[in-house]
Chains A and B, each alone.
Chain A
Amino acid sequence: MQQQLTNLSDKELISRARKQLDREAEGVLMDRYSHLLVAITIPYLNSQPNLDPNVVFPALLQRLSASLKTQTIYKVNEWLLHIQKGYIGKPEKNTPFYPSRDGRDLLHIENMVDKAATNIIDRQDLIVRLEQALQRLSADDNALITQFYLENKSFADLTAATGLSREKLRSQLKAAKGKLAKLFMNQGYVK
């Protein structure tokens, strides 16, 4: 059972945990993200000695489990980060998680790309529209995206070429991708 569940996607695990009250599915999901949860919590444990890992992690898991049953979760990583930040920032308050508009745009395009993988006509159409959106992007962003995604250049290569820090480079790339997504979506609306 455990073995079968680990092969399922996040979405499937969430729906199982919700509809069938399947604690095992929930456990597999938590297990899948536990190392990331630990990694992002370690700095807080270091900086705040009053935080006990034996208390923090179970409490975090409980909170995640509670919100898993009630909230809309498009992307587990965003949701997890939000809950963790909320817990560390204000342990007494339970801040609900709302996926961002940009996040939903990205998710929408990702789903379209996913579906197009098996449909050649859709795929051709999608490629044409994406290239059109890419053309309308500003020259800098266009160059960045082309280099990173299409020419397979690593962070290290790009930082060396542009002289930007990795942090900066990443945020620029993220912003450019966001703009591209928005252009693509608007293009879709205009059509």
Chain B
Amino acid sequence: MLSNKPNNDKVLKIFSAIRCLSRDQLPRYMEGRLTDVERHLVEQHLTDCDLCYDALNALEKEEGTERYQDFTNKLQRYVQNSIQPVSHVQKVAQYTRKEKNKEHMLTYFWIVAFIGLGIGSVYVLRGHMRNQPSVRIMAASLPKKDSVEEQVATGVPLVTAAQNDPVPAPAPATTAAGTAAKPVATPAHVDSAALKRAAALKAQQKKAAADSIRKQTLLQKQADSLKKDAADKAAAQAKEEEKKPEPKPEQKPEQKPKEKEQAPPPEPVKKETSPTAVNSDEYLYKAAMVYQQQGNLNEAIDRYKRIESVSSGKYVEMARYQLAICYRSKGQGGKARRMFREVIRMNGSLKNAAQQALDSM
């Protein structure tokens, strides 16, 4: 077995791959300047490799190896020259591309950063503007004062004119019917009814919250009744002229229907004009309420703020409460909450209502 081994290994040698002849192996082989082992390897390779065998034959036919050496040198130089610059250029191009990429990434980063900063600052600025103290807004609204009062004044006169009659009536329709039917019965009730109404009005004032719908309808009714009133008056006068002979009984019923007809409006109106109406705070407050109920929240807020800054006593509290409600319906929860809290802090009559509103927010 042991004696076989070298022989065995040699079998594998038949198929072992051998590299092609190197540049100086070729002439050395031709000149016989190789060791036995090297020569054997070369010959083994020559058996397989046509290229090397052709090269060997070609060189053997040449007289000298000068040309071979010369051409080989030139070719190798040529290869080197054509490869080196290209590879250098490639490397430079790769490097510059990398650098450019880096720069691009940097610029993208800064652009994104600046955009983010811009958006953030705009957001912060807006928030700041929204939360600014009311001083500026109040200052802006102050010059309007006169015009507002004018508006209020012009808006109310109709009402005030009608209010001068203290006589109430349940409804215009019934009064119209009642004028002809019960002329005598009414006069006796007038005073008591007036007293009752005064009490009711006072109660309502205390409530301080008037329903806009009711108000509006009442205003409308009032307008209607005024018209009717005018028409009735005309009719009544005509009647009066016809029935002059007996004036007293006639006039009384006449006046009463009038009073009755005029009555419906006074209910809402009196709130504004009743004894306290002298107070300008209440006036302002009512006007603001009207704006609020018409849905003109900004205008209402302006008014309330003015009340808050100008007047004193319970109107400040009420105005704050309404301000809070306005803010809440405008969707400015933070301000609304702040207002409610202020109302609570004032510890007035609206404290409980404010607390409830705050809890439900």
Contacts and interface: CB of A to CB of B under 8 A. Distances in A.
B51 interface: yes
A123 B12 contact: yes
A80 B54 CA distance: 12
B74 to A, nearest CB: 8
B55 A34 contact: no
A30 B86 CA distance: 15
Interface in B277-314: none
B11 interface: yes
A150 B72 CA distance: 35
Contacts of A149: 10, 13-14, 44
Nearest to B21: A36
Interface of A: 23-24, 26-27, 30-43, 53, 57-58, 61, 76-78, 80-81, 106, 109-110, 112-114, 116, 123, 126-127, 130-131, 134, 145, 148-150, 152, 154-155, 170, 173-174, 177, 180-181
Given A27-B79, A38-B75, A39-B59, A78 B23 contact: no
Interface string B83-101: 1101100100000000000
Contact of B14 (A27, A154, A180): A180
Interface string B42-58: 01101111111111101
A78 B255 CA distance: 135
Given A24-B87, A36-B51, A38-B72, A154 B40 contact: yes
5 contacts: A27-B82, A31-B79, A127-B11, A130-B14, A154-B39
B51 A181 contact: no
Nearest to B46: A170
Contacts of A127: 8-9, 11-12
A66 to B, nearest CB: 14
Nearest to A124: B8
A177 B83 contact: no
A30 B50 contact: no
Contacts of A30: 79
A125 B341 CA distance: 98
Contacts of B83: 23-24, 26-27
B15 A116 contact: no
Nearest to A151: B10
Interface in B1-35: 7-17, 20-23, 26
A170 B53 contact: yes
A31 to B, nearest CB: 5
A93 to B, nearest CB: 21
B62 interface: yes
A18 B219 CA distance: 95
Given A35-B68, A110-B17, A154-B43, 11 more contacts: A23-B86, A27-B82, A31-B76, A31-B80, A36-B55, A38-B72, A39-B54, A53-B71, A61-B79, A77-B20, A109-B15
Contacts of B51: 33, 36, 40, 77-78, 80-81
Contacts of A41: 71
A81 B61 CA distance: 19
Contacts of B23: 35
Contacts of B40: 152, 154
A83 to B, nearest CB: 11
Nearest to A153: B40
B47 A145 contact: no
B20 A23 contact: no
B67 interface: yes
B15 A35 contact: no
Nearest to B56: A39
Nearest to A155: B43
Contacts of A116: 12
Contact of B75 (A34, A123, A177): A34
Nearest to A81: B51
Contacts of B21: 36
A40 B58 contact: yes
Contacts of A106: 15, 48
Interface string B174-205: 00000000000000000000000000000000
B26 A134 contact: no
Contacts of A145: 14
Contacts of B80: 27, 31
B10 A150 contact: yes
Contacts of B9: 127
Given A27-B82, A42-B58, A173 B47 contact: yes
A164 B53 CA distance: 17
B78 A58 contact: yes
| Nearest 3 Cβ contacts at the A-B interface | A27-B83, A39-B55, A77-B51
A170 B83 CA distance: 38
Contact of A23 (B8, B71, B87): B87
A39 to B, nearest CB: 4
B10 A42 contact: no
A148 to B, nearest CB: 8
A61 B15 contact: no
A170 B75 contact: no
Contact of B67 (A42, A80, A81, A114): A42
